[in-house]
């Protein structure tokens, strides 16, 4: 286990001894290499932080209740932050050794990740496959205004455009000014913490809201290997509850939410297949 590793940090000179590889990679392959290099740097940074933390009995002291748990969370977050800012430069070294190019010369980390996310997610539906729900005319007309943004978000994060539309219809009925009792806001009903984590600065801006919601949805889909039910349950009730109950939580609200999203999704796919819109 990583927690048992004693890491001695010297320098990164040994990376320079790696054999230079001269090969042509596609952009998608390069984005995967860059992502793997950054994950390795994050893991290595986490090991360093754990090693240093042991000498001080942890951030919260050896006798604190839950100190080990919170120290671990802090270490992981710090490792991720450090690797994203490339303070160690290990990801750059690895990337160059494999591709022969500088990471910064190709694209920023966010751009590379966007290329990686451009690979479409294969959706898996175990329930509600035949359920169809027709949205209201007003909601459909409001939604049509955001087609270009939705298509762009779909391309950027690899999420089916009709799934994005279905979430918007379920969350806000395509009302960009919608606010829930839980203070979720905008088209995809982002709470402040999720909006911040997804890089959304103005939750009321339709493009930022849709991109933030789609980014989070793509993370949940990847987390559950394309299982739409689990991804939607996480979007509605939080991944903590999905983990707690080992699947879709036994909440009526969440069950109805999933049925509604998939119902809209099936309806929109029917339209795309040439079916006439039912008003």
d(CA 30, CA 135): 41
- Structure tokens given for 153: 């978000």
Which residue bears the tokens 């490792």? 79
How many residues would you count in the chain? Answer: 279
Instruction: Tell me the C-alpha distance between 223 and 126, whole Å.
Output: 16
Cα angle for residues 65, 68, 74 (degrees, 5° grid): 115
Active site residues: 171
Determine the longest span between alpha carbons in the chain, in angstroms. 68
DSSP 222-238: HHTTTBHHHHHHHHHH-
225 class by beta-carbon count within 10 Å (0-12 exposed, 13-18 middle, 19+ buried):
exposed
End-to-end Cα spacing for the chain? 58
């Amino acid at each position: 286990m990583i927690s048992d590793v004693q890491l001695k940090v010297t320098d990164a000179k040994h990376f320079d001894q790696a054999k230079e590889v001269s090969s042509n990679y596609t952009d998608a392959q390069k984005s995967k290499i860059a992502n793997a290099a950054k994950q390795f740097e994050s893991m290595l940074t986490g090991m360093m932080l754990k090693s240093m933390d042991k000498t001080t009995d942890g951030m919260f002291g050896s006798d604190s209740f839950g100190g080990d748990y919170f120290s671990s969370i802090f270490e992981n977050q710090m490792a991720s932050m450090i690797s994203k800012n490339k303070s160690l430069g290990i990801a750059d070294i690895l990337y160059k050794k494999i591709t022969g190019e500088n990471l910064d010369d190709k694209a920023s980390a966010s751009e590379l990740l966007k290329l990686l996310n451009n690979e479409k997610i294969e959706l898996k539906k175990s329930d509600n496959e035949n359920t169809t729900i027709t949205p209201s005319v007003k909601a459909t007309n409001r939604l049509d205004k955001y087609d270009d943004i939705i298509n762009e978000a779909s391309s950027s994060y690899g999420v089916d455009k009709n799934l994005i539309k279905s979430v918007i219809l379920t969350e806000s009925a395509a009302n960009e000014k919608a606010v829930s009792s839980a203070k979720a806001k905008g088209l995809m009903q982002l709470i402040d913490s999720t909006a911040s984590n997804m890089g959304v600065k103005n939750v009321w801006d339709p493009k930022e809201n849709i991109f933030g919601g789609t980014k989070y949805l793509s993370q949940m889909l990847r987390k559950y290997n394309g299982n739409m039910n689990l991804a939607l349950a996480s979007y509605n009730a939080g991944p903590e509850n999905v983990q707690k109950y080992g699947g879709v939580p036994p909440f009526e609200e969440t069950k109805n939410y999933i049925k509604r999203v998939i119902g809209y999704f099936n309806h929109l796919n029917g339209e795309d297949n040439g079916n006439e819109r039912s008003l």
